[in-house]
Structure 1
Amino acid sequence: MDFSKGAATIEQGFKGQKWTILGEPYVPLHKTPSALLMHAEFGPDSFVPAHLHETQDETLHILEGEMQFEMEGETIVAGAGTSVMLPMGIPHALFNRSGKTARALVFVSPTGKMYDYMAAIDGLTDPAEVVRLGAEHEIRFV
């Protein structure tokens, strides 16, 4: 499916498409073979465990709130208006320790299997199943 044409809003996503993964909402906005753009919300105390993308780069642009990223032994704190690059092959973890909801745009390039992975884990509440399916979609949890 190619979402490269047309407009999408955070409220409606592209053609009404939305995902909920481990209780957190993700909304795909645009997708082409070379890029995927999503909106994500991270509730207080939410996190994405350490993982790496074997074939794609990921960038998060913080729209609201504050996120912490752990990568290569460093902690990066990013607030609204900040973009954080998470290069392929480098393990990284994301945390919302701010006590408030954080919102971000997530850009993945090339799309690789990320879109299919997000669709596959939609509605899952078991972290072990999310990790297991990652291995099938070029995402390795470490």
Structure 2
Amino acid sequence: MDADQITLGPLPEGITLAGEGMNSKVWNVLGHTYYMKSSSESSFAFETVDPPGTGVPPHVHTTQDEHIYVLEGVFTLYLDGQWETAGPGDTVRMPMGLPHAYYNRSEDFCRALFWVSPAGRLAELFDQLHNLEDPEEVVRRSALRDVDFLPAGSVAGA
């Protein structure tokens, strides 16, 4: 394990400042910026900054419930066969096993707070994906850490 990788344990007390990641942890994942906000065995939270035209294709977290609290912008979401939108102040709930995706199809940046419970291996996955530019390798590494992407083209409109 690299020295900068996340070690999960009890929730540490303290404040993660605006515009920063906990322990200065920030990831670049295929054009998205993820700021770690909180990490423990029971939950993992990160803030995203999503440029126009970006998104995360349909996938499933096999061992985690996931939530999104939208801070700025509007996300187009795929939730188990339905297309929805969520804007500032909306909370999106995605139980484990639910196929989902999110996209910023607007001309403005989107910003949101995401969290998963339990934390699982998501922070470890982000360490592995940081600055990786090959989408096929992203899919391969994700599957090794309990995030399974659906086959390309399996969801209309994705």
- Calculate the TM-score normalised by the size of structure 1: 0.96
How far apart, CA to CA, are the structure 1 residues paired with 2:62 and 2:18?
28
Q: Deviation string for 1:112-141 (max 9, x for gaps)?
A: 111111111111111111101011100000
| Residue 69 of structure 1, aligned match among 77, 82, 104 | 77
Give the CA RMSD over aligned residues.
Answer: 1.1
CA distance in 2, matches of 1:83, 1:125: 30
Runs of 4+ in 1 over 6 A off after TM superposition: none
Match of 2:140 in 1: 132
**Is the 1:10–1:29 contact (alpha carbons within 8 Å) kept by the matching residues of 2?**
no
Deviation at 1:39, TM superposition (A): 0.4
More strand by share: 1
- Letter of the 2:133 partner, please give it: T
Partners of 1:58 and 1:107 within 8 A in 2: yes
| Whole-Å separation in 2 of the counterparts to 1:39 and 1:117 | 16
| 1:5 aligned counterpart, secondary structure | coil
Corresponding position of 1:121: 129
1:2-52 CA distance string (max 9 Å, x none): 453211124221121110000210010111100001000111010101100
Give me the whole-angstrom Cα distance separating, in 2, the residues matched to 1:128 and 1:7.
36
Cα contact 1:23–1:125 (8 A) shared by 2: no
Contact 2:44-2:119 at 8 Å conserved across structures: yes
Aligned residues: 142
* Whole-angstrom CA distance in 1 between matches of 2:61 and 2:126: 13
Match of 2:28 in 1: 20
Other-structure match for 2:3: none
Segments of structure 2 that go 5 or more residues without pairing to the other structure are 1-6, 151-158
Q: Give, as a single letter, the amino acid of the residue that structure 2 aligns with 1:64.
A: E
